[in-house]
Chain A
Amino acid sequence: MPEFATLASPYSMPAALHGDVDLSDPEEQTRTRALNQFLAGVELKAFKIAQAALRHEDDALDAVQDAMMQLARAYADRPAEQWKPLFYRILENRIRDMQRRRTVRGRVMAWLPIRGEDDDEDFDPVAQAPSAEPQPVRRLELAEAMGALEQALEALPPRQRQAFLLRTLEGLDVAETAAAMGCSEGSVKTHYFRAVQTLRAQLGELYL
C-alpha cells in the first residue's frame, strides 16, 4: 500500500529526494535533517489546529502544506528556534486567507460538520485506523471528551481558539504564541484566559 511507504521514519528519507540540495555539504545535510525533524514534529498538531479553524480536512491539509512550503523556501536559513513561531504565523495567515476566500464566495462551510468522513469515496478501514489503541472504555471516554471539546472550540472566537490551541496543544509559551499570532503578549494572555473560562463553563472542570 503506497501509504505505508511514506510512513517511514523521517530520518530514513532517501537523500535523493532533495533535488537541488548539495548532499556533499555536511552543513546542508544537518540543516535538512533538522528541518525535516521540525516539520515532522509539528505537522500533526498543525493539522488539528488548521482543521479546528477551517473545519475541512482537505483545506486544513492544504494550509499545512503551504505553511511547510513557505517555511522551507523562505526561512530555512533562520535559526531552528525561530521556526515554530514562524511556522504557526504562516499557518495562521494561510488559514485567514482561506477563511476570507470562503467569505467572499459566500459559502457557509463554517456551519457544517467536519468533512472528510462523509465524502470519502473509498473507505479504507486500515488507513482510517488510529495509530494508538487505548483501552476500549478509555477510548470511549476520550472520544466523547474529544467531541465535546471540538464542538466547544468551534464556538470560540478565532483568536481565542488559536491562543488556546497554540498554548495547550502545541505548547508554545506566551512570547512564542504572541509571535505566532502577531499580537502582544498581553493579548495572548487575555485571549487564552477567556478561552479557558468559556470552555470550562461549557465542559465543566472534570469532564474527563
Chain B
Amino acid sequence: MSGPDDTLTEFERNARTVLEESVRRIDARTRSRLNQARHAALQAAPARRPSWWQGFALMPAAGAAAAALLVAVVLWHRAPERSPALAFDAQHAVVEDMDLLTDKDSIDLMEEWDGSFYEWAAAQSDGGAESNS
C-alpha cells in the first residue's frame, strides 16, 4: 500500500474490507483451479542457466570476432609496404608500358629483340663490376 491505513478515508477503508472479504469468500473450486494454473505457470518458467553457461553461450560470437581480428591483423602485416616513391614508380611503369604498346616504333624494336646480346652485355657489365671491386 502506498501509505498507512490512516491516510484512507472511511469509505476507502470500508471498501477495502468488503473487497478483502469477497476475496476470502472465493469458493474452493475456484481456488483449486487457480492453484493448478499457478503450478502450470511455474512449470512453464524457463530454467535459469548457470553463469558459466551464459559465458559458454557467448563463445561462438566471441570466437568469430577473435578470428576476424586475427585475419585482419595478419593481412595488415603481410600487405606490402608501399612508400609514396614506390607507388609513384609503379604508376610510372604502367604509363611506360602504355607508351610501348601504343608506339609503333617500340613494337618494332620488340619484334627485333635480340635477347642474347642483352644477356651478354649484362654479363659483361657484371664481370666488369666484379673485376673493378
Asked whether A21 lies within 8 Å of B47 as measured between CB atoms, the reply is yes
Asked whether B32 lies within 8 Å of A68 as measured between CB atoms, the reply is no
Shortest Cβ distance from A18 into chain B, in angstroms?
Answer: 6
Instruction: Give the contact-size bracket for chain A.
Output: 35 or more
Q: Residue A98 at the B interface, CB < 8 A?
A: no
- Given A43-B34, A128-B29, A73:B44 Cβ within 8 A: yes
Asked whether A169 lies within 8 Å of B17 as measured between CB atoms, the reply is no
Q: Residue A102 at the B interface, CB < 8 A?
A: no
Q: Residue A137 at the B interface, CB < 8 A?
A: no
- Given A13-B39, A69-B40, A47:B26 Cβ within 8 A: yes
Interface string of A1-24 (1 = CB under 8 A from B): 011101100100100011111100
- Given A47-B30, A128-B29, A65:B24 Cβ within 8 A: no
Asked whether B11 lies within 8 Å of A65 as measured between CB atoms, the reply is no
Instruction: Report how far A173 CA is from B1 CA in the complex, Å.
Output: 6
Q: Residue B73 at the A interface, CB < 8 A?
A: no
Asked whether B37 lies within 8 Å of A64 as measured between CB atoms, the reply is yes
Asked whether B10 lies within 8 Å of A127 as measured between CB atoms, the reply is no
CB contacts (< 8 Å) of B40 on chain A: these are: 65, 68-69
A146: which of B21, B28, B47 is its contact (CB, 8 Å)? B21
CB contacts (< 8 Å) of A130 on chain B: these are: 24-27
A68: which of B14, B19, B25, B41 is its contact (CB, 8 Å)? B41
Q: Residue B43 at the A interface, CB < 8 A?
A: yes
CB contacts (< 8 Å) of B132 on chain A: these are: none
Instruction: Report how far A39 CA is from B21 CA in the complex, Å.
Output: 19
Asked whether A20 lies within 8 Å of B46 as measured between CB atoms, the reply is yes
Can you list 29 A-B contacts (CB < 8 A)?
A3-B28, A3-B29, A6-B36, A13-B39, A20-B46, A31-B48, A35-B42, A36-B38, A47-B26, A65-B34, A65-B40, A68-B37, A68-B38, A68-B40, A76-B46, A124-B29, A127-B28, A128-B29, A129-B28, A130-B25, A130-B26, A131-B25, A131-B26, A132-B24, A142-B17, A146-B21, A150-B22, A173-B3, A196-B12
A residues contacting B by CB (< 8 A) are 2-4, 6-7, 10, 13, 17-22, 25, 27-28, 31-32, 35-36, 39-40, 43-45, 47-48, 57, 61, 64-65, 68-69, 71-73, 76-77, 124, 126-132, 134, 142, 145-146, 149-150, 164-165, 167-169, 171-174, 196, 199-200, 203, 205-208
B residues contacting A by CB (< 8 A) are 1-3, 9-12, 14-48, 50
Excluding A13-B39, A13-B42, A44-B26, 18 further A-B contacts by CB distance (< 8 Å) are: A6-B39, A7-B31, A17-B39, A20-B46, A22-B47, A22-B50, A32-B42, A36-B38, A48-B26, A64-B37, A69-B37, A73-B41, A130-B25, A131-B25, A131-B31, A142-B18, A168-B16, A174-B2
